[in-house]
Structure 1
Amino acid sequence: MKTKIYKLFLCCFVPVQLSCAQTNNQVKGLLFDELTWNVQDSEGTPKPMDTIVYDGKLALHLPKGHNAYLKNIKLENFEIEFDFIGFSMPGLGFRGQDKDNHELIYFRKIASGREDALQYIPIFNGSLPWQLYNYPKYERNAVFAEKKLASFPLTIENYFEQGPIGDSLRYEMGKRGVKYSSEAQLYFINEDVRAIDDMGQLTAGLFRKTKASWELWDPLVWSHVKIIVVENQAIVYVEDMELPKMTIDLKRDIVSGEISLRSQFYDAFYANISVKDLNDTILAMKKDNTRMLSDTYLRTWQLSPKFVKNENEALFQLDSLKSSGATWKKIQADEDGLINMSRFVNKMSGSVVLKTSIDSKDGQNVKMHFGFAKYLMIILNDKVVFSGEMDTKEKEGRVFVDDETVDLELIKGKNEIFLVSTGDEQYHQNWGLIAKLENLNGIKID
């Protein structure tokens, strides 16, 4: 197996280009400077590189929404290791074709020890569909490095008010040697977790409730990560470099592309980066994770052109679509039965209709289980049987096939089903659905 290893060093001095012949397993030094990295904001505007000493390490600092793209190196199969610090969703982009199309693995330090600490999502056309790709397959548990700052009695909860930290809470923290700036904000995460955001000072905190006390932890501590990408698979290691925390089947095409370090909603820091180009497939990594999806899933659909939905005239608009001669495109759900709409439309705006048909041997009722983001109307044989918005409180808005259930009153013969689907037009992140029938007794799906 041929490999090339790239060591990426942070440097404060004047950049000097290193020149050396490439041979197998040779280390090539790459300066962490603007000759090596292209830093951009979320709109793709070039930004200057910022290096900083943070928690004892010289690091690349990426402000909120900034990404650093490795220049002049495109990789398909590779191994990368790095240290990182980030309060919310720092991560690695890879196999990037442009800023809106790549694979993404990111880290929720705020969720350390929970089932959603690690997240994989494929990025199509700039969407961020985290609600569609969820545990236990695309989100996994991991424990990131943290530092305990102090313990408080359970009664400290009386001082937890969302917004600027109040004087009473600030006083109690000060007695224990913990200080945040006057701009620090307290946020409610769940019943057992509160977060302190003081990113103007590049600090943060997490209150976690135990049976006996509230503990305050500093999440902005260096964690070490290794990610191996070969063919259609990625393996993620956190802290322990021998035992992987996540093994996933990737959703995008197997192609060479850009590697990027990413900061999405808060500042992030990266140090001690090494990249190994794996030119040959590592056959030992390959394993058959294929699982046969039940035939009850509705996987084949016809997709309409986009249109602007009028809530009060949706049926009239559907009739117009059916009679207009518009071109419908055949689409397939992925191996999980999921329709990620950003694969098929280039902008998360407007609505689409998906249609299929069900042949029933006799008139009967059958339940359809489904999940969706963010709005859905279901029309069976010209009758609206469901119309609603996804429940973002249940399971934090993640999409599962058993989120919703509706009774389908099938007639003997052909039954037409139309799904009017609208995505997240506010944040442009999630748009998709998944559906299956409870059984196929006397039923044939188109």
Structure 2
Amino acid sequence: MTAGKQMYSLWDDLDRFDLGDSGAIPSEWNGKKALYLEKMNSAIYLRDEVKYDSFRLQAEVAIPGEVGFIGLVFGAKDPGNYELVYLAPVEIQYDPVINGSMTWQIYNGPSYQRPLPDTTGAWHKFSLEVQSEGARVFFGENTEPALIITRLQHGGQRLGKVGVWNFLPSYIRNLSIEEIPPASIEPEATDFSKLKSESFITEWYVSSPLIQDGAKDQTWTKAFVEENGTLNINRIYQAKPGAAVVVKSDFVIEEEEETVLSLGYSDSIRLWVNDKEVYQGDWCWSPPSHDGRIRPDFANVPIKWKLGVNSIRAEVSQRESFGWGLTVRTGLSNAGRN
């Protein structure tokens, strides 16, 4: 393999990038020239595609204030679908953008995010090593990865546009793209048998988006949950304020049983079991009290299940433009599909 490396200062070679409507401008922070970005959920792309099978993306990044996010993009299929890993003031987050929406509310926990000491107000080296089945994330001069991503949500799409991304004020400089030797990252497949043994609902039907005066001429799309048991509605419909869908699932049990159903969701939900409303609530990003992340034990509802066919139905709606979805565990040990 003949190694290759491309270097971009990001303050005097911006003609090599598609800036879109990012508003990115050359600037300076802590005595270093850099690219300054301040919009929300904004990406800029290198005009040329990366042709390396395995490569390292690296840059110097800085977050000047208490709130800000700066990241690296790869495998961009189009402006609304790409792999993203970003640095936040106190964490690293894998946050694949799907249908134009960030999805950190869906992909949370140690498989997707890692805590850091406060990084605010200083320059840091930030690197990704992208392989066919995943990516390794490095912070600072540490030679051990801070995070290993074992499942790329866009299907291991390495080829495509690369670039940089931000959410609120941040700086980035000296982006490099370097070919590296292939290295194995053991892929993580969705273990539906394990999820079912933990009583997750793994299959749902998702309606077409609701309209203001109610659902008319609904169509239904069969969907499966992610590896963490969450239904990612972003894969089907764009998350935008006011959007709403109905999701439903039926299953059979062989005797009556009482359990505690647990659920997590974003942003708002009404939930029915056997056509009886059992829960409604809101859960949005509103720091510091609400982080908006979807967790399967966020809410608990006692349920008396009936012999035979049981149904779960929910209306899930969006207030923001981030990831939306839900996760449900019935608490039943043996529930068959209808």
Q: TM-score, normalised by structure 1?
A: 0.67
Deviation at 1:352, TM superposition (A): 1.1
Which contiguous aligned blocks of 4+ residues in structure 1 show a shift greater than 6 angstroms?
none
User: What letter corresponds to residue 78 of structure 1 in structure 2?
Assistant: F
SS in 2 for 1:240: coil
2:79 alignment partner in structure 1: 99
The whole-number CA distance in structure 2 between the counterparts of 1:123 and 1:402 is 25
Whether the 8 Å CA contact 1:356–1:417 is kept in 2: the answer is yes
Partner of 2:266: 373
Between the aligned partners of 2:14 and 2:100, the Cα distance in structure 1 is 27
Is the counterpart of residue 351 in structure 1 residue 244 in structure 2?
yes
Q: What is the CA–CA distance in structure 2 between the aligned matches of 1:304 and 1:10, rounded to whole Å?
A: 44
Give the match for residue 251 of structure 1. 153
1:342 matched to 2:226? The reply is no
Structure of greater Rg = 1
Give distance in 2, aligned partners of 1:370 and 1:234.
30
2:209 pairs, out of 306, 310, 322, with: 306
Following superposition, the deviation at residue 357 of structure 1 comes to 0.9
Cα distance in 2, alignment partners of residues 350 and 83 from structure 1: 37
Change (3 A) 1:50 1:384: closer
Residue 404 (structure 1) aligns with: 299
AA in 2 matched with 1:220? G
Deviations 1:377-431 (A, max 9, x none): 111222111122227576622211010112222211111221111123xx31131
What 5-or-longer segments of structure 2 have no aligned partner?
Answer: none
Going from structure 1 to structure 2, the CA distance change for 1:11 and 1:406 (only over 3 Å counts) comes to: closer
Partners of 2:171 and 2:37 in 1: CA distance: 6
Match in the other structure for 1:388 = 281
Does the 8 Å CA contact 1:298/1:445 hold for their aligned counterparts? no
2:315: which partner in 1? 420
RMSD of Structure 2 on Structure 1 (CA): 2.5
Aligned to 1:270: 172
**Structure number having the greater helix percentage:** 1
Question: Could you say what secondary structure the match of 2:96 adopts?
Answer: strand
TM-score (norm 2): 0.86
**Whole-angstrom CA distance in 2 between matches of 1:228 and 1:290:** 20
- Cα gap change, 1:381/1:250 in structure 2, threshold over 3 Å: closer, same or farther? same
* Closer, same or farther: CA 362–93 of 1 in aligned 2, 3 Å: same
Q: 1:401·1:434 contact (CA, 8 Å) conserved in 2?
A: yes
Matches within 5 A, 1:258-337: 258-266=161-169, 268-278=170-180, 282-283=182-183, 285-290=184-189, 292=191, 293-295=194-196, 296-308=199-211, 326-337=218-229
The amino acid that maps onto 2:186 is K
**1:179-213, Cα deviation, whole Å (9 max, x unpaired):** xxxxxxxxxxxxxxxxxxxxxxxxxxxxxxxxxxx
The offset of 1:236, in angstroms, is 0.8
Partner residue of 1:140 out of 91, 97, 114:
114
Distance (Å, rounded) in 1 between the aligned partners of 2:291 and 2:25 = 35
Find the aligned partners of 1:38 and 1:439 in 2 and give their Cα distance.
Answer: 51
Distance in 2 of aligned mates of 1:98 and 1:423: 23
Q: What is the one-letter code of the residue matched to 1:127?
A: S
The answer as to 2:41 corresponding to 1:61 is no
Residue of structure 2 in register with 1:363 after alignment: 256
Separation in structure 1 between the aligned mates of residue 211 and residue 37 of structure 2, nearest angstrom: 38
Q: Aligned in 2, Cα 1:38/1:436: closer, same or farther, shift over 3 Å?
A: same
Deviation at 1:275, TM superposition (A): 0.5
Any idea what SS the aligned residue of 1:342 has?
A: helix
Deviations 1:60-99 (A, max 9, x none): 2334345431111235642111111124101112111222
Answer yes or no: is the 8 Å Cα contact 1:309–1:351 preserved in 2. Answer: no
Shift of 1:222: 1.0
Unaligned runs of 5+ in 1: 13-31, 112-116, 146-218, 311-316
State the alpha-carbon separation in 1 of the partners of residues 108 and 247 from structure 2: 23
Between the aligned partners of 1:391 and 1:350, the Cα distance in structure 2 is 14
Q: How many residues align structurally?
A: 324
Q: How much does 1:11 deviate? A: 6.7
Matched residues in 2 for 1:307 and 1:228: separation?
A: 41
CA contact (8 A) 1:423 1:432 kept: no
Aligned partner (choices 131, 139, 149) of residue 230 of structure 1: 131
Once residues 265 and 67 of structure 1 are traced to their aligned partners in structure 2, the CA distance between those partners, rounded to angstroms, is 12
1:82 aligns with 2:59: yes
What per-residue deviation string (whole Å, max 9, x for no partner) do you get for residues 195-235 of structure 1?
A: xxxxxxxxxxxxxxxxxxxxxxxx32211111111123111
CA distance in 1, matches of 2:224, 2:78: 24
SS of equivalent residue, structure 2 residue 234: helix
SS at match of 1:297: coil
Partner SS state of residue 294, structure 1: helix
Report the CA distance between 1:347 and its aligned residue: 4.9
Corresponding residue to 1:70 among 31, 42, 46: 46
Q: Distance in 2 between matches of 1:138 and 1:373?
A: 18
Superposed counterparts of 1:82-231, under 5 Å: 82-87=59-64, 88-109=68-89, 111=90, 117-143=91-117, 219-231=120-132
**Do the aligned partners of 1:142 and 1:238 also contact (CA within 8 Å) in 2?**
no
Quote the residue 1:33 is aligned against: 14
Shift in Å at residue 298 of structure 1?
Answer: 0.5
Secondary structure of the equivalent of 1:287? coil
Separation (CA, whole Å) in 1 of partners of 2:43 and 2:97: 15
